[in-house]
Amino acid sequence: MKIVTVIGARPQIIKAAALSRVIKNNFSNVINEVIVHTGQHYDENMSQVFFDELGIPQPNYNLRIGSASHGRQTALMVEGIEEILLEEKPDYLVLYGDTNSTLAGAIAASKIHIPIVHIEAGLRSFNKKMPEEINRIMCDHSSTLLFSPTQTGFNNLLREGFSANTKMPFTADNPGVFHCGDVMFDNSLFFKDVTLDKSKILTDNELQARNFILATIHRNNNTDEPERLNAIFSSILRISEDFEIEVVLPLHPRTSKLLVKNLDSDLYEKIQQSKRLKLIPPVSFLDMIALESNCKLIMTDSGGVQKEAYFFEKPCIILRSETEWKEIVEEGTAIVVNADENKIFAAYDYFSEYEGMSFPSIFGDGKAAEFICETMLTNG
């Protein structure tokens, strides 16, 4: 069986590592994977570092599309992916998540009738102003095999008309939907132990285990709307001062660029001068795992980092108006605070006193990637 995998943004490279690893270890005689990088992310620390560190094969193709408006970026990717699919003639196109690279893959493959496998299917924010919400809906509804990481995602698909009772052979008109756990959970289990030995991120940044906050911010509305960006950074600064705690912020390049433009100048100045706020470039995945597993608490608007907070049993403050990962809020380990300064502060205050949280298993058994490979093979 030949599959073409399309990746482009940081989280997709990381997710793809789980499947590539399982193919290499268990299915190398029956699955041939061809990797296409759209080039949506291109800085060394947003792309290449993950190939080096996670042992993913180098992409067979790199379209080098880079940054552009949504329409232009997606259109250029569709053109490039179509050409490759016509050349490679794979049995499946494998897509991850909800980025413009995902959407481009779905458009290109569905037009030329190549069956699509969507990993991380069914997630919904019910907020169509998010570019990701449109991307994931379009991808789900053109897929042949849909793999949902959570029960909520699976239920969302059933509500949208997918059936849990379809039988093989699955096709785009008779899709198979599965609740199989999360490939990111597979990864966190696999890399957790490797990290302990390798990462120097804590010592490099003079951080003490269990005594710092990890924060990541990159959602387009949080970075592009000055009011939201100011509220988030102002509360992070206030928490660091009032609770005398350090905060490490590996900044997405989008955020670094927009901090200068959208933060009030006096707040920007205070943040630059604060000894407790450590604004650092994006970190590698193993460094990120070291930060996640050693911090006291995580504040984030990232989809992946919310889940990793749960994997590493840390409370999480979600800097968004809603989340696709409803389960972690229902378990009481995460709170949705939007970009509301008072709510952010109150959530930190609550978690800093709270002991005895539990993190029951909701993201599978660490074998999602194996299940996905087996299902692709069985469907032929």
Which residues carry out catalysis?
218
Instruction: Tell me: does residue 299 bind ligand UDP (CB under 6 A).
Output: no
> Segment near ligand UD1 (CB under 6 A), from 17-25, 98-106, 335-343, 344-352?
98-106
Residue whose CB is less far from ligand UDP, 191 or 371: 191
6, 14, 78, 259: residue in contact with ligand UDP (rule CB under 6 A):
14
Print the SS3 string covering 305-344.
HHHHHHHCCCCEEECCCCCCCHHHHHCCCEEECCCCHHHH
Nearer to ligand UDP, 245 or 279 (CB): 279
Smallest gap from residue 11 Cβ to ligand UD1 (A): 5
Residue window 212-241: x/- pattern of binding to ligand UDP, with contact defined by CB under 6 A: ----x-x-----------------------
Task: Name the one range near ligand UDP by CB under 6 A: 136-144, 222-230, 301-309, 351-359.
Answer: 301-309
State yes or no: residue 67 binds ligand UD1 (CB under 6 A). Answer: yes
**Which of ligand UD1, ligand UDP, none does 253 bind, CB closer than 5 to 8 A by kind?**
ligand UD1
Judged by CB under 6 A, does residue 132 bind ligand UD1? yes
Sign of the CA dihedral with 199 first, then 203, 204, and 210 last: positive
Binds ligand UD1 by CB under 6 A, chosen from 124, 218, 228, 314:
218
Contact partner, 246, from ligand UDP, ligand UD1, none, Cβ < 5-8 Å per class: none
Contact 241, 271 (CB under 8 A): no
Q: For 34, phi and psi rounded to 5 degrees?
A: -110, 125
Residue 40, contacted partner among ligand UD1, ligand UDP, none, CB below 5-8 A by kind: ligand UD1
Which residues in the 223-282 window bind ligand UD1 by CB under 6 A?
A: 252-254, 257
In terms of CB distance, is 57 or 253 closer to ligand UDP? 253
Q: Choose one: 101-109, 207-215, 223-231, 299-307; the region binding ligand UDP (CB under 6 A).
A: 299-307
Tell me how far, at minimum, the Cβ of 7 lies from ligand UDP, in Å: 12
Q: By CB under 6 A, is residue 153 in contact with ligand UDP?
A: no
Angle at 246 between CA 42 and CA 337, to 5 degrees: 75
**Tokens 């901090």, residue located:** 259
- Measured CA to CA, the distance from residue 282 to residue 47 in angstroms comes to 10
Which residues is 118 bridged to in the sheet?
A: 95, 146
Cα three-residue angle 134-132-359, rounded to 5 degrees: 125
Q: What is the pairing mode between strands 32-37 and 2-7?
A: parallel
153 phi, psi to nearest 5 deg: -60, -45
| Two structure tokens written together for 139 | 């991808």
Both ends of the chain: CA-CA distance in Å?
8
Contact call for residues 176 and 145 (beta carbons, < 8 A):
yes
| 149 near ligand UDP, judged by CB under 6 A | no
Using the minimum distance from each CB to ligand UDP, give the nearer residue, 85 or 183: 183
In angstroms, rounded to a whole number, what is the distance separating the alpha carbons of residues 280 and 139?
Answer: 34
Among candidates 47, 39, 54, which has minimal Cα distance to 282? Answer: 47
**Maximum CA pair distance of the chain?**
62
The single residue among 100, 148, 216, 323 that binds ligand UD1, judged by CB under 6 A, is 100
Q: Which does 109 bind (CB under 5 to 8 A by kind): ligand UDP, ligand UD1, none?
A: none
Q: Which of 63, 215, 283, 362 binds ligand UDP (CB under 6 A)?
A: 283
Check binding of 42 to ligand UD1 (CB under 6 A). yes
- Could you say which of ligand UD1, ligand UDP, none residue 152 binds, taking C-beta under 5 to 8 angstroms by partner kind? none
The phi, psi pair for 63, rounded to 5°, reads -80, -15
Provide the residue count of the chain. 380
- What does the angle CA 190 – CA 325 – CA 149 come to, to the nearest 5 degrees? 50
In terms of CB distance, is 46 or 376 closer to ligand UD1? 46
Please give the structure tokens belonging to residue 252: 């997405």
Half-sphere exposure of 232 (CA within 13 A, CB side): 31
Site residues for ligand UDP per CB under 6 A: 10-11, 14, 216, 218, 250, 282-283, 285, 288, 302-305, 308
Binding-site ranges for ligand UD1 (CB under 6 A) = 9-11, 40-43, 46, 67, 98-100, 131-132, 218, 220, 252-254, 257
